[in-house]
Structure 1
Amino acid sequence: MRTLVVGDIHGGLRGLIQVLEKVVPSADDRFIFIGDYVDGWSENAETVSFLLNFSNSHNCVFIRGNHDELVCDFLKNKDEKPMWLAHGGQATKDSYANYSQDEVDRHIVFFESLQNYYIDEKNRLFLHAGFTNMHGPQHEYYPNLVYWDRTLWEMVCSLDTDITPEDPLYPLRLKLFSQIYIGHTPVTRIGETVPVKKANVWNVDTGAAFKGPLSILDADSKELWQSDPVWTLYPEEQGRN
């Protein structure tokens, strides 16, 4: 069984379909989607519909991202936060304009069923953003921190590359898990377009919302598949970025 980690999609359904064709999914695969399915390119509602259909025939774990929570608030309560609208929310709002209430209700159930984090049988942690509690994400005082935090990624990026887990200064929270997989902060911010490993943390957000590709990483073999840069798949929307 392959454990395949899917980076942030942000409405880039064309990129998702393209990279999945390269993966060639099998019935034995487990897909772990790291969150932020929406708020970006134009196919936001369509992305959620695709994922719902995909999960009918594939083993999927869906992690909650910060944008997913914001969209759920919009769909349930018509909450249109100005900051959300300015950061991809308008594209999501537009994509739902022609969806029936039954379809919207089905998507609300999807968003409400997302997991804040997932720990597999190899003690690997999968979550959207990060955690700060020394006992792990399950002990966070504010549960939504796990899909908003950036300090975990900032910390591992600043670590001495020679430090080992045996060092007394090695961060205790990193020792809780064999590996940690996150998204949320695009690695394009540090000049990369492939998943980046810092300490035992893998960041699989390769900037699909902006100028990067969408990535799927095999958590065991570290084999990597990528779409074309997602912006090139939406030539009619290139002015967005």
Structure 2
Amino acid sequence: MKQSRTLAIGDIHGGLKALKQLLQRIEVTEKDCFIFLGDYVDGWSDSAQVISFLIDFSKQYNCTFIRGNHDVWCMQWLETGNINDSWYLHGGKETIASYKTITNAEKKEHLAFFKTTKLYLLDSKNRLFLHAGFTSMHGVTREVNPESFYYDRTLWEMALTMDKSIPEDAIIYPKRLKHYHEIYIGHTPTTNFNKHTPTNAVNIWNVDTGAAFKGKLSAIDVDTKEIYQSEPVYSFYPNELGRNK
């Protein structure tokens, strides 16, 4: 009998077909817990359909949804009708198009979904899950700018450049990293530095493997570190550019 698993899933960016394949490869059971690390929309043509799927999926499975920066833009558009210029150029145009077949009632349901997403999750094993990072040396509870949770890249950049020989009790060891046993993020594609699977640096795991571009959609079992991946997401959408513009 399979044991329960906690699976962190990276940035989906409208790639519903890849998400369905990934979940099939995971061989999902009702014992599993899923932590989605944000950026559900903007990229491939199924953004609105991803949200509908996740809403239905969460009715059967234990899910936590983290808020990404692209989700914030989409949420603001659904609520106000205003189109952020940066969003429109970075996937918003495709997301708006995906909503053409979505009813007003469904849009309200999607808005409610976005509003219930979390800025971060800290579990019972002192593992932190968030979309991007944080800047406070005192940890997430003392973060003065909540936008850091879905925009910050300095946490990951710092981890990538750290000398691995520095002991945790050294004065120069970054205080940000000392608060948590492990940190799971998305936001910055690992493919930017030629890594195609979820990547570890110090105690941080980056699960964004470039699904919005030429990469795969990935999940990681946070206990065993077993990795699951779809085929490259663009291969499901051969007539689209995604964010490869």
TM-score (structure 1 length as normaliser): 0.98
Distance 2:167 2:109 in 1: 46
How far residue 239 of structure 1 moved from its aligned partner, in angstroms, is: 7.5
How far residue 101 of structure 1 moved from its aligned partner, in angstroms, is: 0.8
How far residue 79 of structure 1 moved from its aligned partner, in angstroms, is: 1.5
Matched, 1:28 2:26: no
Task: Please show how residues 25-174 of structure 1 align to structure 2 within 5 Å.
Answer: 25-174=28-177
Q: What is the one-letter code of the residue matched to 2:216?
A: P
How far residue 144 of structure 1 moved from its aligned partner, in angstroms, is: 1.9
How far residue 238 of structure 1 moved from its aligned partner, in angstroms, is: 4.0
How far residue 166 of structure 1 moved from its aligned partner, in angstroms, is: 2.1
Matched, 1:3 2:6: yes
Q: What is the one-letter code of the residue matched to 1:64?
A: R
Paired residues of 2:44 and 2:242 also in contact (CA < 8 A): no
158-167 or 8-17, which deviates more: 158-167
SS at match of 2:137: coil
Q: What is the one-letter code of the residue matched to 1:61?
A: T
How far residue 98 of structure 1 moved from its aligned partner, in angstroms, is: 2.1
TM-score (structure 2 length as normaliser): 0.96
Distance 2:78 2:198 in 1: 32
Distance 1:141 1:168 in 2: 24
Matched, 1:219 2:227: no
Where in structure 1 do 4 or more consecutive aligned residues deviate above 6 Å?
none
The CA RMSD over aligned residues, in Å, is 1.0
Indicate the percent of aligned positions where both proteins have the same amino acid: 51
Equivalent in the alignment of 1:190: 193
SS at match of 1:80: coil
How far residue 168 of structure 1 moved from its aligned partner, in angstroms, is: 1.7
Q: How many residues align?
A: 241
Could you tell me which runs of 5 or more consecutive residues in structure 2 were left unpaired when the two chains were aligned.
none
229-238 or 66-75, which deviates more: 229-238
Q: 1:160 to 1:133 in 2, by over 3 A?
A: same
138-147 or 226-235, which deviates more: 138-147
Q: What is the one-letter code of the residue matched to 1:218?
A: D
Could you tell me which runs of 5 or more consecutive residues in structure 1 were left unpaired when the two chains were aligned.
none
